A and B are shown apart, each in its own frame.
Chain A
Amino acid sequence: MGNDQTEIRKELDLIQGRKKRTSTQWMAFTLLGVGSLFGFFFLALILYWVISQGASAISWEFLTTAPKNLAREGGIAPMILGSIYMTGGALLVAMPFALGSAIWLSEYAWKGWWLRAIRVGVNTLAGVPSIVFGLVGLGLFVIALGFGVSLLAGMCTLAMLSLPILIRASEEALRAVPRSFREGSLALGATRWYMIRTVVLPTAIPGILTGSVLGMARAIGETAPIMFTATAFMMTNPWPHSLFEKVGTLPYHLFGLIKISQHYNETRHIQYGTVFVLMVVVTLLNLTAIIWRTRVRRKKAW
């Protein structure tokens, strides 16, 4: 017995000495560390690039006025507003549907192939290229429903695009409501719907809102879905003023500055400035969501 173990130990040491193992481990750590650094490196690169090229464009005028002189001067305020209206509206359009299906998926749906099929559907929707949403939006909202190329059509198209994100975020928030709350409610003679209304939804709402803000942050940078359905470059009246009119947006303004305008070489700083503003808006949205979530988590007592 004792002999056997000593021999096995010896053999193990021969096959892979302690030293060698240590160095393999060191190599693995280094490689993985370098790999993770790459991710950070590209983020830093993008930030550096955008800030160094675009910061000079940022001014009070840039943030508060409309473009002038074929967008070579002036600001991008109408596009900031347009982007916020568009994504905010998309959220309003999508939320009832998202909330409805999330409640159904987490509370009512019976387990089985039907539920799986719907899940697969939602996940597939999330994987559909955004340009496809653009084309469907053009066919459905702009032409078939007669919205025209308009803010409204863009909201609806973006709503479709953000639906899967919103559904998943809401469902997660609903599922995070402890079972003991549901049991407590049902045991008092509540119906399922009463339970959902009075206990599950109020508990889940901070999580749902956080998720929807994150969904908004995702949608605000999308260009392809609104290109055919909602947005325009260099309009005579650039300020968003009607649901049924075209609207300027940050990503499409950038597209216009580079691909539509003849003066793309003169407007480099405005291009980077636009992207910088877009990134700041996205960051602000994400930050809001994160702060919101931490605050709710801290308050949570269960």
Chain B
Amino acid sequence: MVEDLREADDLLTQETMAPREDTMVETKEWVKRQFYGETIIDVQNLDFYYSKKQALQDVTIRIPQDGVTAFMGPSGCGKSTFLRTLNRMYEIIPGAKATGSILFEGEDLLKTDPVILRHKIGMVFQRPNPFPKSIFDNIAYGPRIHGMRNKRKLMEIVEESLHRSALWDEVKDRLKDSAFALSGGQQQRLCIARALAVFPKILLMDEPCSALDPRASDRIEQTARELAEELTVLIVTHNLQQAGRVSDNVAVFLADGELAEFGPTTKVFADPQDDRVADYLQGRFG
């Protein structure tokens, strides 16, 4: 981790990876530290409401393309809500409303077609939620949405996705079996494979290990690390150790839905700038 950090600092000094000009006007210390590499999602002044209740307060953050970014905070702080604004999954909740702008690929994703957006930003949920179908059909579900009917091509995608989620060896002989025959951890990796099968640029993971035992959690964390080589992984977790193990950068939300701190995980953990974040990290509240 410390090495990663040094690397990142080096990168920052290089011309090519330098932050965009306009970002330099930001004054807060932690804001400057967040521009390691390219920004993939640029969130500006995001407010979020469930009917009258405000869940996120003026969140501004540039999420780096590389590595794993973790989102932490006490329960009810809006970290999951934040993740769900990124693929507009909040919209299925009546009365939920987001204002502000979230730039992704040069467009405000709050204003684009959510169906197209979700092809590019996949999601893994808190509890494994395979469909009551076979393992194969679960993973082929995404490609089939896009009209892929070619059996051989589908098989290739299924195999590749299962390899990427490190499940292939365990299920290669029983792709026709029901997904419910798998253990909880396997189901969760199946859900990861399902999300990967449409080749998203970003993978959102909403507390993906909270329903799993420690060993299964380890495998998921490992998978998340490996995936971060190819795509952007954003993970919500309430587990400090997990965030420490898995993430390169961490964003900490506070109970009122305010983003209090964002930076490289090692730095935030070792030397948080915000006192409330320091309290949270030391377990004094939340």
Q: Which residues of A contact B (CB under 8 A)?
A: 110-111, 178, 180-191, 194, 198-199, 202-203, 300-302
Q: Is the CB of A189 within 8 A of B125?
A: no
Please, which residues of chain B bring their CB within 8 A of the CB of A202? 132
- Selected contact of A183 from candidates B89, B117, B122, CB within 8 Å: B89
With A187-B87, A189-B115, A301-B132 as known contacts, state yes or no: A180 contacts B145, CB within 8 Å: no
Q: How far is the CB of A184 from chain B (nearest CB, A)?
A: 5
Q: Is the CB of A194 within 8 A of B180?
A: no
- Selected contact of A302 from candidates B87, B118, B132, B194, CB within 8 Å: B132
Q: Is the CB of B198 within 8 A of A189?
A: yes
A155 to B94, CA, bound (A): 40
Taking the complex as formed, is B116 at the interface, i.e. its CB lies under 8 A from any CB of chain A? yes
Q: Is the CB of A183 within 8 A of B132?
A: no
Query: Which of B193-231 touch A at CB < 8 Å?
Result: 194-195, 198
- Selected contact of B118 from candidates A178, A187, A300, A301, CB within 8 Å: A187
Please, which residues of chain B bring their CB within 8 A of the CB of A190? 115, 141, 145
A199 to B145, CA, bound (A): 12
Q: Chain B: how many interface residues by the 8 Å CB criterion?
A: 28
Taking the complex as formed, is B123 at the interface, i.e. its CB lies under 8 A from any CB of chain A? yes
With A111-B94, A183-B89, A194-B145 as known contacts, state yes or no: A188 contacts B198, CB within 8 Å: yes
Taking the complex as formed, is B191 at the interface, i.e. its CB lies under 8 A from any CB of chain A? yes
Q: Which residues of B contact A (CB under 8 A)?
A: 87, 89, 92, 94, 115-119, 122-123, 125, 127, 129-132, 141-142, 144-146, 178, 180, 191, 194-195, 198
Q: Is the CB of B142 within 8 A of A189?
A: yes
Q: How far is the CB of B201 from chain A (nearest CB, A)?
A: 13
Q: Is the CB of B131 within 8 A of A187?
A: no
Q: Is the CB of A183 within 8 A of B129?
A: yes
With A182-B92, A194-B145, A302-B180 as known contacts, state yes or no: A188 contacts B122, CB within 8 Å: yes
Please, which residues of chain A bring their CB within 8 A of the CB of B119? 188-189
Q: Is the CB of A203 within 8 A of B145?
A: no
Q: Is the CB of A188 within 8 A of B118?
A: yes
